[in-house]
Structure 1
Amino acid sequence: MHIILGATGHVGSALAQALLERSEPVTVVTRDAHKAEALRTKGAHVVQADVFDTHALHRIFMGGHRVFVLNPPAAPSADTVAEEHRSLRAILSALEGCRLEKIVAESTYGAQPGEGLGDLGVLYDMEQALGAGPVPFSAIRAAYYMSNWDASLDTARKEGKVYSMFPSDFRLPMVAPHDLGQFAAKLMLGPAESSGPHHVEGPQRYSPGDVARAFSEALGKPVELVETPRAQLEQAFESLGFSSAAARSYAAMTRATLDQHYEPPVKPVRGEVPLRDYIVALVRKSSG
């Protein structure tokens, strides 16, 4: 049995569907069972549990052989680093004593030690903790999710604008959730041995300007890219409802990405979904 945390999110649901398509037994863990109804109809076993309920989570893990770990993102109105460390501790505690064959976990490009670096620091700590455990472990270091641009559809459609914390011409690795789900399924079904970290990105690198052009093409109207100046990152995040602590953390994470404060992968795993196809599908789905 494959146990999947975060199965109602973009990546977790893509993984669940990839495994179900291969007729694999899947248990999806979610705080809201209604959100997993589509997966239930496809054959998944749905269990409702809060990630902070360590005892319930431990019982669920005991019923599986392989586990996919996705530490849930904290609400931006909270101190995201503190909350994500708290959820990580709960997951690690729930995994203790479970006789699992393998753990696959979703991490991120640029994962590195350091305080106040958002996911970069939290997910590095996750990698270190799981890697030091007794269960074979594989980390997926995912590129910037193309789904992060989903929220831009509304402003692109209504204002003809896409807002970005990155400069228009800054090319960065991006990846579609579908490609991450497919690669995660490969690891979940692979040998019970440690490997990675595996860097996964799309067919090529893209810029925010490419995103605006993709929206323009998909919507059939001009769409411009509006950049946030580097010096105004904290203010920009706070204007979106982020707490002061979260704004500082996300701004630091953005600067680390801009300055490429990490060792780039020599041979990343390449997904198949181009940015243009992802944006076109997003627009079509919203109009359906």
Structure 2
Amino acid sequence: MFAIVGAAGNVGYATARALREANVPVRAIVRDAAKVARLREIGCDIAIADLRDAKALATAIGDVDAVQIILPAALQAQDIKGEMHRAIESLAGALEQATPGRLLAISDYGAHVADDIGMPTVFHAFEERLGRINGHKLILRSAEHMHNWGRAIPVAMASGILPSFHDPLDKVFPTIAAPDLGLIAAGLLMRPASERNLEIVHAEGPRRYSAQDVAAALSELVGRTITAQAVPRSQWKEAFERGVSASTADLLIRTNDAQNKGGLVDVESDASEVCYGTTALIDALRPLLPRQ
């Protein structure tokens, strides 16, 4: 039995579905009972537990052979780092109670960097806390998700300009479709455990893309020219705070500064394994377009 914490999300569902297609029993752990229909349809056992309730989460995990966890980011939280660190402690506490045989944790590119570079730094703390838990641990660091561009699509379609925090616009960066990440995670869960207590694997898409590539893909999808345009650094805070809390905006500003600097939000220099998804950028963007 494999448990998937956060099985209703894009990554969790993709992992659960791949495991079920391989005839592996799956316990889908979700917070909201209203989101279990498609998990039941693929034959998952269902457990309801709030991530912030370590005891309930430990009970839901139970005596499974392996568990996949993901750290959610509440982008509207007034203190997003505080919320995420509390979630880390709750997850760790649950795992220490349940003691699963194997643990796969979804982490972030750049989590190896000790300096404060925004969101990857939260995952740096996540990985450090998980490192104190007994048992075999596999850290799957994910590149930025392609669907994050969905927030900019309405603006791009209305104005013909795709605003980008990636600068320069022709600089390629790692990104991955969330369903691909789930498929990669399922494959890692099903392979024999390494003799090492800790494994770190990176995951990104079939190739790297620039903001100009995103604009070109959107242009092809909508049948008219869309041009990428860098948002001036002085306007970042205002732009981010239109959609997220001030604390989240600060985290994202630090992350984008690190991405634009290069070499930080990337594969760790001595990494031995990188897995590649198969979904091209244009195919990940297509379902994000408004339905006609």
Give the alignment of 1:102-181 within 5 angstroms. 102-112=102-112, 114=114, 117-167=117-167, 168-181=169-182
Aligned residue among 219, 222, 227 for 2:222? 219
TM-score by length of 2: 0.89
Q: Is the 8 A contact 1:65 1:99 kept in 2?
A: no
2:159 is aligned with 1:183: no
Quick one: structure 1 residues 241 and 267, their matched pair in 2 at CA, closer, same or farther if it must change by over 3 Å? Answer: closer
Q: Is the 8 A contact 2:163 2:231 kept in 1?
A: yes
Moved more, 10-19 or 151-160: 151-160
Residue in structure 1 matched with residue 44 of structure 2 by the alignment: 44
Which structure 1 segments of 5+ residues have no match? none
1:68 Cα deviation (Å)?
A: 0.4
Quick one: structure 1 residues 266 and 134, their matched pair in 2 at CA, closer, same or farther if it must change by over 3 Å? Answer: closer
Q: Is the 8 A contact 2:49 2:56 kept in 1?
A: yes
1:63 Cα deviation (Å)?
A: 3.8
Q: Is the 8 A contact 1:116 1:249 kept in 2?
A: no
1:207 Cα deviation (Å)?
A: 0.6
1:29 Cα deviation (Å)?
A: 1.6
Residue in structure 2 matched with residue 7 of structure 1 by the alignment: 7
Quick one: structure 1 residues 180 and 65, their matched pair in 2 at CA, closer, same or farther if it must change by over 3 Å? Answer: same
Quick one: structure 1 residues 74 and 281, their matched pair in 2 at CA, closer, same or farther if it must change by over 3 Å? Answer: closer
1:140 Cα deviation (Å)?
A: 0.8
SS of residue matched to 1:185 = helix
Q: Is the 8 A contact 1:81 1:116 kept in 2?
A: no
Quick one: structure 1 residues 21 and 35, their matched pair in 2 at CA, closer, same or farther if it must change by over 3 Å? Answer: same
1:5 Cα deviation (Å)?
A: 1.5
1:122 Cα deviation (Å)?
A: 1.5
Residue in structure 1 matched with residue 83 of structure 2 by the alignment: 83
Question: Residues of 1 paired with 2:278 and 2:251: CA distance?
Answer: 31
Residue in structure 1 matched with residue 210 of structure 2 by the alignment: 207
Moved more, 145-154 or 205-214: 145-154
1:281 Cα deviation (Å)?
A: 4.5
SS of residue matched to 1:150 = helix
**1:137-178 deviations in Å (ceiling 9; x for gaps):** 001111111121223333333333322211222210011112
Residue in structure 1 matched with residue 281 of structure 2 by the alignment: 275
Q: Is the 8 A contact 2:201 2:272 kept in 1?
A: no
1:131 Cα deviation (Å)?
A: 2.5
Which structure 2 segments of 5+ residues have no match? none
Q: Is the 8 A contact 1:145 1:176 kept in 2?
A: yes
Q: Is the 8 A contact 1:116 1:248 kept in 2?
A: no
Question: Residues of 1 paired with 2:259 and 2:6: CA distance?
Answer: 25
Alignment length (residue pairs):
285
Quick one: structure 1 residues 98 and 267, their matched pair in 2 at CA, closer, same or farther if it must change by over 3 Å? Answer: closer
- Sequence identity percentage: 32
Residue in structure 2 matched with residue 246 of structure 1 by the alignment: 248
Residue in structure 1 matched with residue 257 of structure 2 by the alignment: 255
**1:71-106 deviations in Å (ceiling 9; x for gaps):** 111233421111100111111011113231100010
Question: Residues of 2 paired with 1:202 and 1:69: CA distance?
Answer: 21
SS of residue matched to 2:203 = strand
Code of the aligned partner of 1:14: A
Code of the aligned partner of 1:276: I
SS of residue matched to 1:163 = strand
Question: Residues of 2 paired with 1:129 and 1:190: CA distance?
Answer: 24
Residue in structure 1 matched with residue 26 of structure 2 by the alignment: 26
1:113 Cα deviation (Å)?
A: 5.1
Code of the aligned partner of 2:7: A
Q: Is the 8 A contact 1:27 1:44 kept in 2?
A: yes
Alignment RMSD? 2.1
**1:40-95 deviations in Å (ceiling 9; x for gaps):** 11111222221011111010122422110101112334211111001111110111
Quick one: structure 1 residues 154 and 48, their matched pair in 2 at CA, closer, same or farther if it must change by over 3 Å? Answer: farther
SS of residue matched to 2:206 = coil
1:114 Cα deviation (Å)?
A: 4.8
**1:202-221 deviations in Å (ceiling 9; x for gaps):** 11110111111111111112
Q: Is the 8 A contact 2:58 2:98 kept in 1?
A: yes
